[in-house]
Amino acid sequence: METDNWRRNKRVFFAVSVPQLTWLLIFFIIPLAAVFIISFSEKRGIIGHELVWDWKNYIRAIEPIYLSIFAKTLLTSTAVTVICLLVGYPVALAISFAPRWLKLALLFAVTVPFWINGLIRTYALIAVFRTRGILNFTLEWFWSIGASVLAWFGIEVGSYQDLQFLYTNVAATAGIVYVFIPFMILPLYAVMERFDKSYLEAALDLGAGHWRTFFTVLLPLTTPGIISGCIIVFVPSLGVFFIADLLGGTDSLLIGNVIERQFLGANNWPFGAALSFLLMYLTFAALILYSIVNKKSKKIGGVDV
Amino acid sequence: MGKTVLSIENIVKKFGNVAAVNGVSLTIQDGDFFALLGPSGCGKTTLLRMLGGFDSPTSGHIFMDGIDITDVPPNKRQINMLFQSYAVFPHMNVEDNVAYGLRMEKRPTTEINQRVQEALALVRMEEFAKRPPDKLSGGQRQRVALARALIKKPRILLLDEPLSALDAKLRGAMQTELVRLQQTVGITFIIVTHDQDEALSMATRIAVMDEGSFCQVDAPRVLYEAPSSRFVADFIGRMNMHECIVIAEQDNGYCINAGGDMGEISVRHAPLPGVRAGDKIYYGVRPEKVIFSKDKPADNVGNAVVLENYSYHGDETLLYCRSQDGTLWTCTLTNDRRNFTPVNVGELGWLTWAADNMILLAK
């Protein structure tokens, strides 16, 4: 509509956008600019820093020890995203095919963790993963059943030895997956819910088996959901720190932990700021890479769904 | 013609405690254009989906060429389906959509290309081969879906309400087109529709369904001119239907008393099983077989009426009349001359028809 064009009603547009722009300015642009400036400062004394406009912090940030942590963070986030996708895709599909009452119950189950603080949920995972925790108890139970069956055949196996889960990379990765998986399931579900199920029947009707129906019809038509789910999981998971802190071991250090320690532990704001900006550039690079790949695949695939 | 391609025996489909299809049996001949006609919720789509293999019957069997295919999955049946939503894959262009079925059969590329061209020519869509589906109209998308199903050379093509999404003009054109296609490819078509006009004009045989059962399976002409029940008579076309009493059974018909001005009438009619003199049955006469005249008829059956209302349709006018005993009658007036005499509400007249045009219905 003519009146909806902001060019024609500049003052109206201005009036309605000022509150949001102010909010963005005060709580996003200014702090970001401050951190940007601090990244070019130098630590002075215990808590102070002074603007010197040099690249020293950035040069330190690309030292091999930090680069390896960046690499590990990228690897962990990629692993988390892939696991979330592999687990979340069938779950989202099952929800979209479920009868209405079950659908609502399942969606509720997916979203209910949002009601509880992430820190508390992570502490709960400690109870699962610790040496005498729920996971080890469960494994021990299966072990004892297996052992008693084997004993029937005269094979003796020793008693169950607790496995170390807590303070390992496995626990840290599982913890991050646990926190982020709803962010994968929900966008996937949103796409699958709108997906016309007769496409699947048509593929089946035309002679495709279930696997080929999946790869030639379902997967291409749910790609938008996969992409948005992966972005929503991958980008924030680059910056997590408390999960790795609580569940991970000494070698589970992610870049988020390093940044947190620079700001809070070491009181080296300038270096923390430089690391933060490097992480941000890394995220941008990943998103740009994605949009280039996406543009290419769209040209091949044809239609935007 | 003549060879049975598909037969179903005692098919029942229950959803919970409700039987959507309630024990139907049917045989379909090779080359038939068969229509499943019925009001919405009568089970016709459920039956079609079972023929396609998308639902499995609770009990009963489906045979194709004498072989039980009840448990054969859709991708292994020589039956293809035209979906109500067409289900043209949005991420493939027209050509890729049409080629899909052959690619799944892993046919050589040269064969695929040639057959795609033929299939597109069949539905007159050659120029659109490279188009994505979102740049096509509804009618064009339907043609793509048709080509995509027919390229598989199935024994049977199932069509689920194929014309319901098209506008009236296009629907008429597509009716002729579908009949032409069916005659060209010689494949048996089974179409589901709730539109009696569609079924009558396209099909060679029609099964009228209601509440999960077949009411009558016959050629369109037989269904219209000799319905076997009041439901069929009323569902297909318009029908003046009233009670009457059987006076006597005659050699080739019945003598009935229809009451009012009509008195006793001898109707030539096929025998009605179980009907005896004194029974209360129904008689019907189609509005286009009724004549509205100002004067009392000489030898035809007639009824004095008053014109209560009419609706003008351009090519014809529908008259709604009430007889002296209070029954309502409909009569079609063909406007076959430009300067025809208009009718007036409140006019008195006679409705007349030949006794041979009467249908007797026991149930």
In this prediction, residue A303 carries a pLDDT of 41
Locate A94 and state its tokens. Answer: 């099952």
- Tell if the CB–CB gap between B75 and A209 is shorter than 8 Å: yes
Locate A157 and state its tokens. Answer: 């196996």
Give the burial string for B190-217 (b: 16+ CB within 10 Å, else e): bbbbbbbebbbebbbbbbbbbebebbbb
- The helix/strand/coil state of B282 is strand
CB of A154 within 8 Å of a chain B CB? The answer is: no
In this prediction, residue A3 carries a pLDDT of 58
Q: Mean pLDDT over residues B9-15, rounded?
A: 93
Strands (E), chain A: 41-44, 48-51
CB of A209 within 8 Å of a chain B CB? The answer is: yes
Confidence check: pLDDT of B99 > 80: yes
Give the burial string for A7-32 (b: 16+ CB within 10 Å, else e): eeeeeeeeeeeeeeeeeeeeeeeeee
In this prediction, residue A2 carries a pLDDT of 52
Tell me which chain B residues have a C-beta less than 8 angstroms from the C-beta of A204: 54, 73-75
- Tell if the CB–CB gap between B101 and A206 is shorter than 8 Å: yes
Average pLDDT over all residues of chain B: 90
Which of B49, B89, B190 to substitute to test the interface with A, most A CBs within 10 Å? B89
Confidence check: pLDDT of B252 > 90: no
In this prediction, residue A199 carries a pLDDT of 95
In this prediction, residue B239 carries a pLDDT of 92
Identify the CA nearest to A103 among candidates A35, A15, A192, A164: A192
Q: Mean pLDDT over residues B240-263, rounded?
A: 85
Tell me which chain A residues have a C-beta less than 8 angstroms from the C-beta of B85: 196, 198
Bridge partners, B96 (sequence order): none
Q: Write out chain A's pLDDT in tens, 305 residues.
A: 455 666 777 888 888 889 999 999 999 999 999 999 999 998 887 777 888 888 889 999 889 999 999 999 999 999 999 999 999 999 999 999 999 999 999 999 999 988 888 889 889 999 999 888 889 999 999 998 998 898 888 888 888 888 888 888 889 999 999 999 999 999 999 999 999 999 999 999 999 999 999 999 999 999 989 999 999 999 999 988 888 888 888 788 889 999 999 988 888 899 999 999 999 998 998 889 888 887 766 654 444 43
Q: Least CA distance to B133: which residue of chain A? A: A303
User: How far apart (Å, rounded) are the C-alpha atoms in residues B188 and B203?
Assistant: 11
In this prediction, residue A82 carries a pLDDT of 97
In this prediction, residue B82 carries a pLDDT of 94
- The helix/strand/coil state of B331 is strand
Which of A207, A209, A305 lies nearest to residue B101, judging by beta carbons? A207
Computed on alpha carbons and rounded to an integer, the radius of gyration of chain B in Å comes to 25
User: How far apart (Å, rounded) are the C-alpha atoms in residues A32 and B321?
Assistant: 84
CB of A250 within 8 Å of a chain B CB? The answer is: no
Query: Which ipTM score applies to this complex?
Result: 0.83
Whether A114 and A107 have beta carbons less than 8 Å apart is answered as: no
- Tell if the CB–CB gap between B134 and A217 is shorter than 8 Å: no
Strands (E), chain B: 4-15, 18-29, 33-37, 59-64, 67-68, 79-82, 156-160, 188-193, 205-210, 213-218, 240-250, 253-257, 264-268, 280-285, 291-293, 301-312, 316-323, 328-334, 348-353, 359-361
Confidence check: pLDDT of B104 > 90: yes
Whether B313 and B271 have beta carbons less than 8 Å apart is answered as: no
Q: For the ranges A14-23, B235-244, B269-278, which has the lowest average pLDDT?
A: B269-278
Tell me which chain A residues have a C-beta less than 8 angstroms from the C-beta of B134: 303
Which of B79, B104, B159, B190 to substitute to test the interface with A, most A CBs within 10 Å? B104
User: How far apart (Å, rounded) are the C-alpha atoms in residues B129 and A289?
Assistant: 33
User: How far apart (Å, rounded) are the C-alpha atoms in residues B257 and B280?
Assistant: 10
Confidence check: pLDDT of B31 > 70: yes
Q: Which residues have C-beta within 8 Å of that of residue A272, sequence separation ≥ 6? A: A259, A262, A263, A266
Rounded to two decimals, the pTM is: 0.82
- Tell if the CB–CB gap between B101 and A220 is shorter than 8 Å: no
**Going from the N-terminus, what domains does chain A have, and what CATH number goes with each?**
64-130+165-301 (1.10.3720.10)
Tell me which chain A residues have a C-beta less than 8 angstroms from the C-beta of B74: 201, 204-205
